[in-house]
Amino acid sequence: MKYLTKSVWILAVVSLFQDICSEMLYPVMPIYLSSIGFSIALIGILEGFAESTIGISKGYFGKQSDLSGKRLPFIQWGYALTVIGKTMMVLIAHPVWVFFTRSMDRLGKGIRTGARDAMLSDEASPENKGKIFGFHRSLDTLGAVIGPLLALVYLYYYPEDYKTLFFLAFAPGMMAVALTFLLKDKSPHQTTKKKWAHPFSFFSYWKAAPVLYRRVLIGLLIFALVNSSDLFLILRLKETGMSDTWVIGGFIFYNLIYALFSFPLGVLADKIGLKKIFIFGLCVFVAVYLGMAFELSATGYLILFGAYGIFSAATEGVAKAWISNIAERKDTATAIGLYSGLQSVCTFLASSITGIVWYAFGAATAFIATAIVVGGVVMYMITVKAPEE
């Protein structure tokens, strides 16, 4: 596995520690927010607002990374802001403060995403993009297994002590930041004389991008427009009366399946085509959301969470690998940044709408409506030609 270079390993381990930090908190986030007075609708708006914060930042900083020819500064600052934002969230239990710190957390992700994925792409060839991105997702998601397990153990001994848990998550977060200093930028690609991008200049890539990129992006964004925050899946389990232990356990199982399948599905995607694996993942998503609309046993929901892990493994890394294969090297961060940025804006709408629909018509309606739209996305993606076709 010579394609797993030093930089690929470091980026993967950085993501491992960052996800331990993030996922120690993610499954308890809706529970904590509910405990300080947030309604389901307000949680949906908060998550949507937080995602929209990184909408412009992902595109802008991706473009800025391409203009400068550098990746590392964006990666380091991005991870640092995320850790600070997460830790500060519990200092004041006030909606305005929570919105501010959650946005800081998401801004950090916006700064690093395009540059990090471009660095991964620079380490790969078109023939092994699926493997590289799949391996990265595997270690990234392994952190999402370890994090909730640590949270589960802590809350077992200190029930509902959410604030201390936020401060404990600071340690692995800082480890991730420290490891970024082991990375080095490759020789920069040819850059332009312009060193600073206009905040919205990355949108111009839409016109310059290959036709295939635009067609793929349309399908990805329609999907993102109905793919709300995973917090709603966690809330669904909580709504059925499950204990915090069962809820976090279900989330751990999801991430375990996600971690186990990301690399094998990445390898398979390189063999049979990125498009085929991505469409398979969307089909699994439809099945999961239809299942979530019904009252099931704890085992039934656990199976659905496992299937959801397969969906994530088949789509998250694969989508970025697909895009990076279409874009030229000099535009990789911009191409991924434009996708990730617009995806975030769509997620803002998706989370806000889902929260309102759930509040007004119930969970079943929200899940069924999402499944129907994604079924349409599957039909559209089938018509999109992959580069190898």
Q: Report pLDDT digits (tens) over 310-364.
A: 999 898 878 888 887 787 767 777 777 778 778 777 877 887 788 888 888 888 8
What integer pLDDT is reported at residue 48 of this predicted model? 66
0.75 cut: is pTM over it?
A: no
For residue 185, being part of any structural domain is answered with no
What integer pLDDT is reported at residue 136 of this predicted model? 84
For residue 154, being part of any structural domain is answered with yes
For residue 200, being part of any structural domain is answered with no
Task: For residues 177 and 160, give the distance between their C-alpha atoms in angstroms, rounded to a whole number.
Answer: 28
Domain count, the chain: 1
Contact 89, 292 (CB under 8 A): no
Task: For residues 65 and 71, give the distance between their C-alpha atoms in angstroms, rounded to a whole number.
Answer: 6
Residue 54: CB atoms within 10 A of its CB come to 28
**Residue 313: strand, helix, or coil:** helix
What integer pLDDT is reported at residue 179 of this predicted model? 93
Question: Among positive and negative, which fits the CA dihedral 250, 319, 351, 17?
Answer: positive
For residue 196, being part of any structural domain is answered with no
15: nearest Cα among 147, 137, 149:
137
Category of 138 on φ-ψ map: left (φ > 0), alpha (ψ -120 to 50) or beta:
alpha
Q: What is the CATH number of the domain that holds 256?
A: 1.20.1250.20
Domain that includes residue 293, residue range: 7-180+205-383
Identify the segments of the chain with pLDDT beneath 50. none
What are the residues whose beta carbons fall under 8 Å from the beta carbon of 374, sequence distance 6 or more? 223, 226, 227, 282, 285, 286, 289
For residue 27, being part of any structural domain is answered with yes
Task: For residues 334 and 330, give the distance between their C-alpha atoms in angstroms, rounded to a whole number.
Answer: 9
Q: Could you read off the pLDDT of 143-158 as tens digits, one per residue?
A: 878 887 888 788 888 8
What integer pLDDT is reported at residue 260 of this predicted model? 86
For residue 87, being part of any structural domain is answered with yes
Contact 71, 48 (CB under 8 A): no
Task: For residues 263 and 246, give the distance between their C-alpha atoms in angstroms, rounded to a whole number.
Answer: 27
For residue 195, being part of any structural domain is answered with no
Task: For residues 10 and 14, give the distance between their C-alpha atoms in angstroms, rounded to a whole number.
Answer: 6
What integer pLDDT is reported at residue 284 of this predicted model? 95
For residue 389, being part of any structural domain is answered with no
